Structure 1
Amino acid sequence: MMLGIQPFRAALTPLQKAFTCICCSSMYLTRLVHSKTLLLLREAFTSLLPVVLVMNIIVLLSGLSGLLASQSVVAESFINGNEVSRLYFFLVPFFLNISLSTLMAKEKDLDQVSTVLISVVCFLRVSGFLFIDSTGQILSFQGSVLTSIPATLVAVTLLHYFSRFSALQFFRGRSEVSPALQRTLNLLIPGLLTVLCFELIGQGFRLFFKTGLFSFLFEILPKLQATQEVILFKLISQLSWFFGIHGEYSADGLFRILNAIPSSEAGSIHFKVLHDVFMNIGGSGSTFVVPLAILFLPGSTQFKPIAQLSLPFALFNVNEILLFGLPIILNPLFLAPFLLAPLVNMAIALTAIHWGAFTISATAINWMSPPLYSAYAASGGSGGAVLTQFLCIVIDMGIYYPFLVLAKQQSNTPRALRKLLDGDAYQFVNREINRQEERRFMTQKMDQVQDMEEVQRLLQQLKGGQFLLYFQPKVDAQSKALVGLETLLRFQDAGGNIVPPTFLPILYQQGLSKAIDQKVLSLVFDQIKQWRGNGQGFPQISINLDKHFLLDPPSVKTLIAKARQEGICFELEITEHTYTSEVKSLASVVRDLRSAGHQVSIDDFGAGYSSLTTLVSLEADSVKLDRKLVVAPEGEIQRGRVLLESSVKLCHDLGFSVVAEGIENLSQLQLVQHCGVDFVQGYYTGKPMPANQVSRLFQA
């Protein structure tokens, strides 16, 4: 393709129009780039930077080995950089699909792995990036690089839209299923619908291309002049690079449809050489001067690490580090210089050639040839070409410098992105809630496994045995006369051994507390019938009841009816974890029990969770002080005595009788007697005993 200065002048008018559009687009992008979608897109491109670095290093080593081979330093290049480069640029759309879908899944609170896999399937189906022919061979369509971004955006957006419908979810609040598993399986139907939508989209595209309408649209477009074609090619290339897509590959793909790709032909100027030597100094956008300007620009500390890292690569026209790391990609601040510098360089080179300063040889040079040397080699050793390229570098510095001055005022991470990430409290809190929810679920499941092991051991222990009642005497604190009996559940195993109530917590964890209370009541009524059948009297019977029994209206009604039928009134002890968590609901139950003639006692008061307001909220008859109030810690005897005296006085002032439990020796008995306690329980006044031993207490 022959290019000259006259065609270039003819191309200035459309070029001016193009730059008018560029300025408008830059202003629009400045507003658009702050949208969440483009911020995610920029972050997705940035996440590709490690891959870019690795591939660039390999390509750079390949170029160096090629130069060494051309100078006969080594026999041949030991790395095929072209293959590596092709592989990288081939995989870029696939990498971008994975990166962007991962970030979108996080932003939309979707399961990341499932979302990525569904997005990959959609991308492959609609783009033809990879497909299998009838013979089973895997084929590829490289044009899919242009569909990666919209395919990913649409796929994840559709998936999120469908996942919002509860009717399409398998699990809704199922506590027996892991939250992480719920989120994964709940994407099954939304994922299916998303893939089906993409099948329809893909089928629509295929029908569109089969009609020939697509080819017809390009046939009616006006034919471009040679220079206009070069400008258009470079604009497409630069805009593609600006959005993170390999520019030359994108332009080539479009020009395969529009026309033949600009290629070298016999003549004074060859496009490929002109492009590599003057339009791509330091890489796409003629960015060779950018790291140099950063290093010498005062106050640009935040950019210097990127500049130092990218400068060695820029010497060989590799600039992806700048594109992704600065970043230039999707940064509206750099759109104008990124498009302007290559076209200005082209104008300078064409003008110099037109004036006869140098000519370009038809022999192609390696695109990785360093600046100045590349001009020298491409012109057959012309100093004019070197000076022209140096002039381009100086002018590029003038083009980029003011934009770098503006950029240094911004953070390396865009302020809008930082504000979005730091200020999005919902995403932060929701993510932490999901983590905590999963931890709680796993802890709960581990506890359940441990509990089930304990239950299995307990079942083996209980096999062949029976539950029975023990009774602990309650005596008057002054006279030590028997005034009541507290029922305690025990178990007698198959060998006749009595097992203490260590099994109760396990049974309670399995939700059997109400059943245990019902069993205790059944045994109590049976024992009362036996005592009465033997003609024996007995004092008031105290029974501990759990909240699951007390807050179950049918169970309470059955107790009241059965006690009325037997003509007996109990003292019902309400355990601490019941009255501290269900005070309002329990208050009406207490009134019903007292109306039926039963007495109510607040058990374990002072054990650690008791509230003084409980004494007012519940219309109880007595308060049973926990042993922690009766037996003060060592070294706190005097203060413990003050606390005990104050507690007893408070309860008396509120109209309650007071029971002290855990009395194990004479000094403790004397202490509670001195403090005014009404009744006592403990090993000193009477250990728990079976019913036949209790009978002797009645006779005494």
Structure 2
Amino acid sequence: MDGKLKNNRLFDFMSIVNEKVNNNLIVQCVKTSLVMIIPMIMVGAFSLVLVSFPMDAYQNFIKNFASGLFYLIFNGVYSATFGMMSVYMTVSVALTYTNMVRKIGGYFFGPVFSSLFAFTLFSGVISENGLVKEALGVDGLFTAIVSGLLASALYCFVQERVGNTAKFYTYGADDVFYMMLKYVYPTFITAIFFVLLSTLINVIFGVGSFRELCINIVTFIFENTGRNFGSTLLYLVIVHLLWAVGMHGGNILQPVADSVFAPAITENQKLIQLGLEPTQMFSKTFIDVFVLMGGCGTTICLLLAILLFGKRRSNKKLVQIALLPGIFNINEIMMFGLPVVFNPIILVPFFITPIITFLISTLAMMTGLVPYATSAVEWTTPVIVGGYYATGSVAGSILQVVNIIVGTLIYWPFVKLIERETQRNSTRKIEQIAEIIDESEEMRKPVNLLELNGDLGIVCRIIADTMISCAGKELPTVYYQPQCDENEKCIGAEALLRISHKEYGLVYPPIIMKLAEEAGILLQTEKDIFASVVKDMDELIRIIGDDADISVNVTGITLKTEEFELFLKEMAEKNPDKCNHITIELTEQATLKIDDEFISRLQRIRDMGYRLAIDDFSMGNTSIKYLESNVFSKIKLDGVLSRHVVTNERSQEIVSTLAKMSKGFNIDILAEYVETEQQKQILSGIGCHQYQGHLYSQAVPLHKLEDMVDTARKE
């Protein structure tokens, strides 16, 4: 299947569309906002299962036991989650949009309050007849999205042009109060705009709110359509169109379902009582039971497709959570968690699947293979059971199974495609973070990855959380890159940390070390790397030989700590025959203060049996000072010098000088990033006789190192 996806022009086109849609600021904002309210969606979904479980004995129990205590609890949780979902979404959109555009400083209360003000007007939640509760729940999600986006965008626009020039000075006012005073102008202008816009909608269209206008437009389509194949198909299309943009299609079209489709069951029952055959195929039960299994989009099929064919762990975990509600046709977790909403790839089968199941069900009943639905079935009735209850025949359940199989197969390639796109997007984010680090080092401008805004900051925090949970509890994966002499003999290897995150794949090592530093686990991370190398040492000696020299990178920050020195001492005492094969490479030494105390610490570490090396050595003052200490046995050339010897004579002169200097101090010199035979020959000619780089091998897992070493020996 993966191979077919790679060569499919349709899927390639969809990938391009998906990328363009997902790069849109509004779509990014809505998707992120939906993710932010997932906790409330999950709690609400499970409370809905508990409050509407379709079993008479259960319903009697929760409504009568202890004066309906359980019902009050379950219904209360539902009302506080799904019943307030639009309010949560409004706040989420306001915060997400403002954080993304970052056009205002300080607190984000202004956009949030302005968005809630706009939502109150647009939703018509407060009317002459009191509070309209439906406007606060999932029915008002589209209104919440529109209100949050418009109000936040307008607020930020005004704040950028007017708010910063407004002067409010109040003696004795604290900083927070002064900052809030600056928000008066944009809040006031935003409020006036929405008052005028709401009034305009009321006057022109004769409705109480923007939400009412949307509902009227949708329901107007079904006036005088009747109950037939065409009206049922139209109903399905519009329900799913509404869902695609975040509107709860089923709830919005509930009046249509009740007035057009629900009476069909009653008519069939009357005909049966008269001894006649039922004649009404297209009923609300028909739609709920045979078409929208698992909810709109026949999402039970999406759940199964991910379980059976998906590989991404986060999606499978989401499905595991969504499966129980999904069995009862409650699909909000999938709609907003995956999400399906505003997802151009998954929306394709989301539309196609219910139409196909509708056609299959219609054909099955027209040909008499399955009886017409003659019993009203609660929409929360589990799949398979619902088919039998609706038709009074096992054929109804079999039809559901057939539809589920067909629907799952429809979703299958799209699940694979969305996972491929998600992985590609994840890889792109890691590359962007790596670019930020490289730019920071090049410009010598510090950066805090955990404080980055938007998606990149979220990715960094997710990876950091994973690292924190693993630090000190499990040893990390370490790869080894061979080091060779001029005779092609493998003399050692450098241990390099490799972390493959379950969601973001292989993470650029400098990202890991930077996050470890920011998260306060750098010391523990480097101890874990060291412990991994010690664990592998017996095998490394067997592969490379008794004179194996294994380099382990340790930052200067860590090496200066007493805790790490004690750790090294303990490791040396427990594993003396292993630790005397380890060379500790001092990295990021440029920012270190070289004093007698630090030199003494290095001497004590050397006396434990470890060898010391300087990483990224150049002609800088810091590097030369380390040579004067007489504690190092090896220097590794700066990567820039090593690469440039092929094209830059000055680099050759510098390396030649360093080689002569190191020889005078009886210190080995090794060049990294050796990629061509020409580069190696030049380095050898100017006095550098140890090499590491892709000319010999990239960093490989321990179990592949032996093959690399054997290949080098044969050559």
Q: Name the CA distance, whole Å, in 2 between partners of 1:90 and 1:58.
A: 11
1:92 aligned onto 2:85: yes
> Which residue is 1:388 aligned to?
399
- 1:144–1:288 Cα change, 3 Å: closer
Q: Name the CA distance, whole Å, in 2 between partners of 1:286 and 1:69.
A: 27
> Which residue is 2:159 aligned to?
163
1:407 aligned onto 2:409: no
- Please tell me the residue identity of whatever aligns with 2:21: L
Q: Name the CA distance, whole Å, in 2 between partners of 1:179 and 1:417.
A: 40
Shift of residue 401 of structure 1? Answer: 0.5
Match of 1:360, SS?
coil
Give the 5 Å matches for 1:232-271.
Answer: 232-252=234-254, 260=259, 262-265=261-264, 266-267=267-268, 268-271=280-283
> Which residue is 1:573 aligned to?
none
> Which residue is 1:50 aligned to?
39
- 1:232–1:211 Cα change, 3 Å: same
- 1:82–1:275 Cα change, 3 Å: farther
- Please tell me the residue identity of whatever aligns with 2:96: L
> Which residue is 1:149 aligned to?
145
The answer on whether the counterparts of 2:163 and 2:182 sit within 8 Å (CA) in structure 1 is: no
From 58, 71, 94, the counterpart of 1:69:
58
From 103, 106, 124, the counterpart of 1:128:
124
Q: Name the CA distance, whole Å, in 1 between partners of 2:431 and 2:94.
A: 18
From 183, 186, 190, the counterpart of 1:190:
186
- 1:210–1:327 Cα change, 3 Å: closer
Match of 1:357, SS?
coil
- Please tell me the residue identity of whatever aligns with 1:326: L
1:397 aligned onto 2:389: no
From 229, 232, 240, the counterpart of 2:231:
229
Q: Deviations over 1:472-497 (max 9, x none)?
A: xxxxxxxxxxxxxxxxxxxxxxxxxx
Shift of residue 197 of structure 1? Answer: 0.7
Deviates more, 1:392-401 or 1:234-243: 234-243
Q: Name the CA distance, whole Å, in 1 between partners of 2:59 and 2:92.
A: 39
- Please tell me the residue identity of whatever aligns with 2:231: E
Match of 1:304, SS?
helix
Q: Name the CA distance, whole Å, in 2 between partners of 1:313 and 1:211.
A: 36
Shift of residue 286 of structure 1? Answer: 0.9
Shift of residue 150 of structure 1? Answer: 1.7
Give the 5 Å matches for 1:562-641.
Answer: none
Shift of residue 326 of structure 1? Answer: 2.1
> Which residue is 1:209 aligned to?
205
The answer on whether the counterparts of 2:44 and 2:81 sit within 8 Å (CA) in structure 1 is: yes
The answer on whether the counterparts of 1:278 and 1:342 sit within 8 Å (CA) in structure 2 is: no
Shift of residue 398 of structure 1? Answer: 1.0
- Please tell me the residue identity of whatever aligns with 1:170: A
1:356 aligned onto 2:368: yes
> TM-score with structure 1 length normalisation?
0.50
The answer on whether the counterparts of 1:288 and 1:315 sit within 8 Å (CA) in structure 2 is: yes
1:41 aligned onto 2:30: yes
From 337, 352, 358, the counterpart of 1:325:
337
Q: Name the CA distance, whole Å, in 2 between partners of 1:176 and 1:107.
A: 34
Give the 5 Å matches for 1:418-429.
Answer: 418=429
The answer on whether the counterparts of 2:387 and 2:396 sit within 8 Å (CA) in structure 1 is: yes
Same amino acid, percent of matched pairs: 21
Q: Name the CA distance, whole Å, in 1 between partners of 2:428 and 2:174.
A: 33
Q: Name the CA distance, whole Å, in 2 between partners of 1:96 and 1:208.
A: 28
Give the 5 Å matches for 1:262-281.
Answer: 262-265=261-264, 266-267=267-268, 268-281=280-293
- 1:203–1:419 Cα change, 3 Å: farther
> Which residue is 2:355 aligned to?
343
Q: Deviations over 1:38-69 (max 9, x none)?
A: 10110111112111111111121224474543
Q: Name the CA distance, whole Å, in 2 between partners of 1:322 and 1:433.
A: 28
Shift of residue 310 of structure 1? Answer: 1.7
The answer on whether the counterparts of 2:375 and 2:391 sit within 8 Å (CA) in structure 1 is: no
The answer on whether the counterparts of 2:44 and 2:82 sit within 8 Å (CA) in structure 1 is: no
- 1:139–1:283 Cα change, 3 Å: closer
Q: Name the CA distance, whole Å, in 2 between partners of 1:100 and 1:219.
A: 30
The answer on whether the counterparts of 2:90 and 2:148 sit within 8 Å (CA) in structure 1 is: yes
Q: Name the CA distance, whole Å, in 2 between partners of 1:264 and 1:58.
A: 29
1:79 aligned onto 2:71: yes
- 1:139–1:383 Cα change, 3 Å: closer
RMSD, aligned α-carbons:
4.3
Match of 1:410, SS?
helix
The answer on whether the counterparts of 1:264 and 1:270 sit within 8 Å (CA) in structure 2 is: no
Shift of residue 195 of structure 1? Answer: 0.4
Q: Name the CA distance, whole Å, in 2 between partners of 1:336 and 1:413.
A: 20
> Which residue is 1:592 aligned to?
none
The answer on whether the counterparts of 1:34 and 1:416 sit within 8 Å (CA) in structure 2 is: no
The answer on whether the counterparts of 2:21 and 2:344 sit within 8 Å (CA) in structure 1 is: no
Match of 2:263, SS?
coil
The answer on whether the counterparts of 2:38 and 2:333 sit within 8 Å (CA) in structure 1 is: yes
Larger Rg over CA atoms: 1
The answer on whether the counterparts of 1:119 and 1:152 sit within 8 Å (CA) in structure 2 is: yes
- 1:293–1:220 Cα change, 3 Å: closer
Match of 2:421, SS?
coil
Match of 2:372, SS?
coil
Q: What are the ranges of 5 or more consecutive residues in structure 1 without an aligned counterpart?
A: 1-22, 435-700
Q: Deviations over 1:575-624 (max 9, x none)?
A: xxxxxxxxxxxxxxxxxxxxxxxxxxxxxxxxxxxxxxxxxxxxxxxxxx
- 1:26–1:82 Cα change, 3 Å: farther
Q: What are the ranges of 5 or more consecutive residues in structure 2 without an aligned counterpart?
A: 1-11, 269-279, 454-715
The answer on whether the counterparts of 2:305 and 2:409 sit within 8 Å (CA) in structure 1 is: no
Q: Name the CA distance, whole Å, in 2 between partners of 1:198 and 1:364.
A: 44
Q: Name the CA distance, whole Å, in 2 between partners of 1:402 and 1:220.
A: 34
Match of 2:71, SS?
coil
Q: Deviations over 1:366-401 (max 9, x none)?
A: 222221111011111x12212211110110111000
Shift of residue 168 of structure 1? Answer: 6.2
Q: Name the CA distance, whole Å, in 1 between partners of 2:92 and 2:125.
A: 16
> Which residue is 1:306 aligned to?
318
Give the 5 Å matches for 1:428-467.
Answer: none
From 96, 106, 109, the counterpart of 2:99:
106
> Which residue is 1:375 aligned to?
387
- 1:96–1:59 Cα change, 3 Å: same
The answer on whether the counterparts of 2:53 and 2:59 sit within 8 Å (CA) in structure 1 is: no
Q: Name the CA distance, whole Å, in 2 between partners of 1:217 and 1:400.
A: 28
From 263, 285, 288, the counterpart of 2:300:
288
Deviates more, 1:101-110 or 1:52-61: 101-110
Q: Name the CA distance, whole Å, in 2 between partners of 1:411 and 1:25.
A: 13
The answer on whether the counterparts of 1:313 and 1:319 sit within 8 Å (CA) in structure 2 is: yes
The answer on whether the counterparts of 2:38 and 2:337 sit within 8 Å (CA) in structure 1 is: yes
The answer on whether the counterparts of 2:140 and 2:247 sit within 8 Å (CA) in structure 1 is: no
- Please tell me the residue identity of whatever aligns with 1:98: V
Q: Name the CA distance, whole Å, in 2 between partners of 1:314 and 1:211.
A: 36
Shift of residue 199 of structure 1? Answer: 0.8
